[in-house]
Amino acid sequence: MSDKITLMSHLVAGYPTDELALTATRALVAGGAGMLEIQLPFSDPSADGPAIQEACTKVLARNYRTQDGLHFIETVHKEFPEIPIYIMSYGSLVYTPGVAAFCKKAAQAGVSGMIIPDLPFDNDEGLTQACKENGMENIPVAAPSMAPERLSKLAGAGFDHIYAALRAGITGSKTTIDSNTTAFLSAVGKGKSKVLGGFGITTGEQSKALAPFVDAVVAGSVFVRIITEHQHDAAALSRAIEAKAREIACC
């Protein structure tokens, strides 16, 4: 691990509009985000807190489709080809059109990898293989609630990255970084996978606490809340997003 923090920032494709989502993306990159996690809106994001749930609901109310989200991602990729983009969504959006077909379209849009929390690493409907066939990676999710034996199996499975959810429950509320957190992160990284640590990250203080144990800090709801607060003032939205990104990517 490194004391230098890489920020993976999360936003919802199309929220509140594609134009404002692109404004937020530019501000995130300007603020130091080195990786982008772009969520395809989903009608029942069970692990997401109220900020992301509301964002998804509002985007879907515009009849926003998966193809619209992929088009947004393609636009972002063309503007920032050096920034890895990871799709975050849920299994049904990937499974319904066919896992192989979905991964092919994602790769064509410029996606580097997939984060699908409800597809477990050892029963993923062929997602890992389909990602490999299309030059992407599957990033499985580890949770503190996993049995030690299962966590050890995941850590040793050879994934390039593992997303470590820092606590159980829904994201959005603030997460405390304590000895249990760092022990969990150490277990996730035992197999030499790079660890992405997220869930309730809102401050630079939390990033500094996580930096020795992760390869990237993931922050999402904090940015979605800022977008919601400033959605009627693009300039204010951009300033606030960039400032918060700089705070979290503080080292």
Residue 194's H or E segment, with its range, is strand 194-198
Structural contact between residues 187 and 164, judged by C-beta atoms closer than 8 angstroms: no
**Per the residue annotation, which of 3, 18, 19, 37 is the catalytic one?**
37
Number of helices and strands (H, E) in the chain?
11, 9
User: Is 54 a residue of the active site?
Assistant: no
User: Is 229 a residue of the active site?
Assistant: no
The pTM for the full model equals: 0.92
117-131: per-residue pLDDT in tens?
999 999 999 999 999
68-119: per-residue pLDDT in tens?
999 999 999 999 999 999 999 999 999 999 999 999 999 999 999 999 999 9
> What does the alpha-carbon distance between residue 228 and residue 171 come to, in Å, rounded to a whole number?
17
210-246: per-residue pLDDT in tens?
989 999 999 989 999 999 999 999 999 999 999 999 9
Which residues are 143's β-sheet partners? none
**Per the residue annotation, which of 18, 48, 124, 215 is the catalytic one?**
48
Instruction: Tell me whether the omega of the peptide bond preceding residue 144 falls within 30 degrees of 0, making it cis.
Output: no
Mean pLDDT of the chain: 92
What pLDDT is stored for residue 1 in this prediction? 44
